[in-house]
Amino acid sequence: MEYKMNVELTYKEVWATLNALDLSKYHDKKGNFTYLSWTDAWQILQEQYSFATYEFMPETYEANGTVMSHCIVRIGNLERYMWLPCMDNRNNSLTNPTTRQISDTRMRCMVKCLAMFGLANYIFRGEDLPDADKDMAEAQVTQEIEEVESETETGFSIKELNGNIKTNCKTAKEFLVQMRVEYQNCLQEEKSFKGIYLMNKDQIDQAYESVSASDKEVKDGFKALIELGESA
């Protein structure tokens, strides 16, 4: 069944539709991991919602050379946002990835964003579970990031709609991550991000200004967040 663009959709309805699809014949294997090709994923989505669109936000770059891609998928009146680091075939972060690797990560990020709507979300189940080798590699990345973040340690707070402080953050980067979580929560709960954005706009602007121009990853992250807030 294909839905028309002028039909008002709900996240629950779309999830039920996409999550019920049997996609086993589309599975690809790379090492120990199961994949769904982005071409198959997009074709399947189009068969259900031909008016769906996707958009890539600017990549964010860590000081240690790792890269994060960002994608927004829109199905009618609904929207999901997802991010994904550029990784090798063992799912470890790549340092200074090529444009081809970034392009591939963008499309994987789009598939992961579709999983947030319910399409083959089981493929990503367990990706956040501990793995000794992966944890060691990520721990090293985290340590390197922390070593170059001292200039952003001014402290920022996220406020709820009633003005109460919800979360205290030590760095601008931590503040950015938590604001992204707030944005995702709004999508999950089918609420507008505009109120939270406006309540925290002064802090967002201060955090953005506090980040060194050389820290392109964090700067670009705030630009993307501000764009999401202004368009909400």
Query: What pLDDT score was predicted for residue 31?
Result: 61
State mean pLDDT over 36-42.
Answer: 92
Which of residues 126, 161, 183 is at a domain's end?
Answer: 126
Q: Which residues contact 69 (CB under 8 A, 6 or more apart)?
A: 56, 59, 83, 84, 85, 86, 102, 105, 106, 108, 109
Same domain for 116 and 168, yes or no, is: no
Q: Each residue of 139-154: pLDDT tens digit? A: 554 554 444 444 434 5
**Pair 153, 63 in one domain:** no
Mean pLDDT, the chain, rounded, equals 82
At 86-123, the pLDDT tens digits run: 998 778 899 999 999 999 999 999 999 999 999 988 77
Whether residues 83 and 157 share a domain: the answer is no
pLDDT-wise least confident of 72-81, 108-117, 181-190 = 181-190
What pTM value is reported for the model?
0.56
Residue 3: give the domain boundaries: 1-126
Q: Which regions of 37-189 does DSSP assign to beta strands (E)?
A: 53-61, 67-75, 78-85, 156-159, 165-169
Residue 138: inside a domain, yes or no?
A: no
Q: Which range scores top for mean pLDDT: 18-22, 59-63, 72-76, 139-143?
A: 72-76
What is the number of domains present in the chain? 2
Closest residue by Cα to residue 228 from 180, 189, 191? 180
Residue 202 lies in a domain: yes
Are residues 14 and 91 located together in one domain of the fold?
yes
Residue 221 in domain:
yes
Q: Does one domain contain both 31 and 98?
A: yes
Compute CA distances 196 → 15, 37, 77, 166, 179, whole Å: 25, 35, 20, 11, 9
- Cα separation, 171 vs 210, in Å, equals 10
pLDDT at 131 over 70: no
